[in-house]
Structure 1
Amino acid sequence: MRTGLDGRTVLVTGGNANIGKGIALAFAEERTNVVVCGRDAAQGARVCDELRDRGASDTLWHAADVTDRAQVRALVDAARARFGAIDVLVNNVGGNVGLDAFADSDPADWERDIALNMTSTLNCTHAVLPGLIARGSGRVVNIGSVSGIVGDPLLAVYSAMKGAVHTFTKVLAKEVGRHGITVNAIAPYGTLPDDPARDVSSGSRWHPDGIFARLSATRPDAFHSIGRRTVLPRGTALASEIGAAAVYLASDAAAFVTGQVLSVDGGTQIA
């Protein structure tokens, strides 16, 4: 497939680990300029080395908390200063900070889930979009979740926010399509790092000190209850598979695809 991505600049938020890293590596193989942000500088440097090894035209790592608008503006300014423009935005940052029935949940966790999954997407899109509109072209790829389609017990706010990401995708696609910009989302299910030894950062849910490890150790029944059955021999996705979907949606091959939510879930919704 001819993607037409060679030489374009792609910003992947949360590109330090798991899905974000898988997406960044997939774009590196298309010889793009890849900008990744996160909060773990040591992991960011390792990721940039790997991106260059995979074929990236150039790379930039920038420390940023994308729930903070000022830090997002600094990130976007740095990317534009280095590469002139951003052609593709992948809003990957997201996650859950707890695992509780809503009646037992902590309102402070609601705010963190909202910020991590929805505010981050709004902040980055709002900062990048004027440049895309001015040039009359561009791609926005949002990372949602199967949770946002079917709703997962113990993940009420997370599920709601991922559903909001999907709806935001459709509305934005309607608003900016006339400018030659497509907006799509990917809804992954249960995605594991391709290489757990290298594909986690200090803030990753899959880090040995991350929320998944803590829940697995302290509340294994609750943790495993959020799993779903696939119709395939394998029960989880790989980050590289989400990366392949992101490359397709950003490519010239998907120029007539917009406002869609592409599930990469092993058939969990039909199981």
Structure 2
Amino acid sequence: MTGDSDMSGATLDGAVIAVAGAAGPAGQATVLRLAAAGATVVAADADTTRLGEAVDAARDARAGATVTGDTVDLLDLAATRAWAERTEKTFGRIDGLVHLVGGWRGSPSFAETDLADWEVLEKLLIRTVQHTSLAFHDGLLRSDRGRYLLISAAGASKPTAGNAAYAASKAAAEAWTLALGDAFRKAGGEDGPRAAAAILVVKALVHDAMRAERPNAKFAGFTDVTDLAEAIAGLWDRPAREVNGNRLWLTPET
């Protein structure tokens, strides 16, 4: 799968999609794209200021778009469950959770790895996946087109010496997401899964502010956040059986 497919005709009218980590550049692009496609978007982030900016931009993108913002502590399972339950109760359904919570820590070499980095990344990149997947599992199964989408990095399957903590965290998050996909597969029985869990893999992400800061950089192999958002929106158009349990590469597979 590549990020250059034309999803301009995709419609998500009637879908209710939650976005975790909505205030970052990728989150803002995703909220904007989903709202433009007609989805009701329930955005969450710990940064209330940037979250408000993302919500306002998405509302402006489509007249009448329903976009809400919640400050949710995704490291608190009870709070995450409450967010999922509140979303489904308010809008009557939940059709997706897009996980865009990120973070990076690295070291000059493997021997210089600081295990404090692991403690941070384990919370950001693994614990938030565990909590959102457990909280939204039942609601996504009740949907006729539920999607749980994790954004991951190519380094998870080809780690480098200085990225041991980061790559291991991403690999664990991928494994957890694939286990969720297996749960969806089993729940679907002979008819196949109704919901899907999948991983979109990038080398790294780039956005306009990065280009402005480094005008001479080529960002080779990077995925623009708008292309990522386009790919995300298109996954509701594809059958759950085709999406579920897969790594979908937006960069050359390693």
Task: Give the TM-score taking structure 2 as reference length.
Answer: 0.82
- Counterpart of 2:27 in structure 1 is 20
Q: Letter of the aligned partner of 2:231 in structure 1?
A: A
Aligned equivalents of 2:102 and 2:247: distance in 1?
A: 16
User: What pairs up with 1:1-271 in 2 under 5 angstroms?
Assistant: 3-55=10-62, 57-135=65-143, 137-177=145-185, 178=188, 179-195=193-209, 234-249=220-235, 251-257=236-242, 258-265=244-251, 267=252, 269=254
Deviates more, 1:72-81 or 1:61-70: 72-81
Q: Letter of the aligned partner of 2:165 in structure 1?
A: V
Aligned equivalents of 2:80 and 2:227: distance in 1?
A: 27
Question: Runs of at least 4 residues of structure 1 off by over 4 A?
Answer: none
Superposed displacement of residue 186, structure 1: 0.5
- Counterpart of 1:224 in structure 2 is none
Superposed displacement of residue 255, structure 1: 3.2
- Counterpart of 2:3 in structure 1 is none
Aligned equivalents of 2:228 and 2:92: distance in 1?
A: 27
Contact 2:143 2:195 in 1 (8 A): no
* SS of aligned partner of 2:241: coil
* SS of aligned partner of 1:115: helix
- Counterpart of 1:201 in structure 2 is none
Aligned equivalents of 1:172 and 1:268: distance in 2?
A: 22
Contact 1:39 1:63 in 2 (8 A): yes
Superposed displacement of residue 235, structure 1: 4.5
Aligned equivalents of 1:184 and 1:76: distance in 2?
A: 19
Q: For the structure 1 residues 85 and 52, does the alpha-carbon distance in structure 2 shift closer, same or farther, using more than 3 Å as the test? A: same
Identity of aligned residues (%): 25
Q: Letter of the aligned partner of 1:14 in structure 2?
A: G
Q: Letter of the aligned partner of 1:185 in structure 2?
A: I
Q: Letter of the aligned partner of 1:252 in structure 2?
A: D
Deviation track 1:97-126 (CA, whole Å, cap 9, x = no partner) reads 343434322222211111111111110010
Deviation track 1:201-226 (CA, whole Å, cap 9, x = no partner) reads xxxxxxx9xxxxxxxxxxxxxxxxxx
Deviation track 1:17-44 (CA, whole Å, cap 9, x = no partner) reads 1222222222112110111111221211
Q: For the structure 1 residues 99 and 84, does the alpha-carbon distance in structure 2 shift closer, same or farther, using more than 3 Å as the test? A: farther
Aligned equivalents of 2:65 and 2:97: distance in 1?
A: 17
Q: Letter of the aligned partner of 1:64 in structure 2?
A: V
Contact 2:203 2:221 in 1 (8 A): no
Instruction: Give ranges in structure 1 of 5+ residues lacking alignment.
Output: 198-207, 209-226
